[in-house]
Amino acid sequence: MRSALRDEPVSVLDRILAILDTVRESHGSTTITQLALATGIPKSTVSRLVGDLIRQRYLTRTEEGVVIGLRLFELGARASTPRRLSVAALPVLAELFNATGEHLNVAVQEGREMLSVISVRGRLRPVPSRAGVRVPSVTTALGKAVLAFTDDEGVLGSVFTGLDSSRRNTFEKELVSVRTASVAIDLCETFPGVVGVASPVLSPDRVPVAAISVAGPVTDMDPHRMAPLVRHAALALTHRLALQVA
């Protein structure tokens, strides 16, 4: 039916979430018309839904268009996983930052990508990642660190799709070596000129729940000097999370 560029959301909930996600993806701001086009929802419906969301301050209208509102910020700040990780990771990150001075990240797996949950600014400019942004799992150190310890065939499969068989083979080899070293390296694969070094954070039953990484300029940061520091931090975080149970 309909023009249907994509799966058009039918249920009210799907529509609302589609609108929210589209607003998020539109860095900066969107208009009603753009939202209607992007989501495939009729303009009048978008107008009504967005109006309601603005009234509840889940969205806000600025001169430049519609943006995420304060209520969503409030909700996001209470999200369970990021909070638990923050509490446990703060002292670990402080120590790691003292030792390195570089850009730090703690990220969790989200679909076939990694979602940065905490981010500490180092000297890198522009900042390659902030809390709340996604980075690809295949190329980043964060992603490789987690994937190397993942048993879930579904996730691995979905990440592999899109790689031709030769790249896939070298990638699987890389994961094996990451598994033995407990450290993954991203040599300018994701951001030009940026090296990343990451190590996985495991739950008590050895399921990877997150990864912690250091990133710096390729010209001036030695990944092999960073490796033990990052591994130590990840182990410390793993340990603190295990205790945190409460």
Partner DNA sequence: GCACGCGTCCCACTGGGTGGAACCAGATGC
Partner DNA sequence: GCATCTGGTTCCACCCAGTGGGACGCGTGC
Q: What does the binding site for DNA look like in residue numbers (CB under 7 A)? A: 10-13, 15, 31-34, 41-45, 47-51, 65
124 sits near a copy of itself (criterion: CB under 8 A): no
> Which SS3 state, helix, strand or coil, does residue 27 take?
coil
Q: How far is the CB of 93 from a copy of itself (least distance, A)?
A: 12
Residue 215 near residue 105 (C-beta atoms within 8 A)? yes
Which residues are bridge partners to 200 per DSSP?
211
Positions 65 through 104 that interact with a copy of itself (CB under 8 A): 67-82
12 sits near a copy of itself (criterion: CB under 8 A): yes
Which residues, including other chains, have CB under 8 Å from residue 130's CB and lie 6 or more apart?
116, 119
150 sits near a copy of itself (criterion: CB under 8 A): no
Residue 241 near residue 88 (C-beta atoms within 8 A)? yes
For residues 66 and 229, which CB has a smaller minimum distance to DNA in the complex?
Answer: 66
Which residues, including other chains, have CB under 8 Å from residue 223's CB and lie 6 or more apart?
185, 187, 195, 197
Q: Which stretch binds a copy of itself (CB under 8 A): 36-44, 130-138, 193-201, 206-214?
A: 130-138
In degrees and rounded to multiples of 5, residue 197 shows phi and psi of -130, 125
The CA distance from 12 to 40, in Å, is 13
Tokens of 243: 């205790």
For residues 60 and 139, which CB has a smaller minimum distance to a copy of itself in the complex?
Answer: 60
Residue bearing tokens 């001169």: 63
In degrees and rounded to multiples of 5, residue 165 shows phi and psi of -60, -30
Positions 172 through 201 that interact with a copy of itself (CB under 8 A): none
Q: How far is the CB of 81 from a copy of itself (least distance, A)?
A: 6
Q: How far is the CB of 48 from DNA (least distance, A)?
A: 6
For residues 72 and 237, which CB has a smaller minimum distance to a copy of itself in the complex?
Answer: 72
**Amino acid code (one letter) for 90:** L
Q: What residue 68 binds from DNA, a copy of itself, none (CB within 5 to 8 A, per partner kind)?
A: a copy of itself
Q: How far is the CB of 243 from a copy of itself (least distance, A)?
A: 17
Residue from 118, 230, 151 nearest 184 by CA? 230
Residues forming the site for a copy of itself (CB under 8 A): 11-14, 16-17, 20-21, 24, 29, 49, 52-53, 56-58, 60, 62, 67-82, 108, 110, 115, 117, 130-134
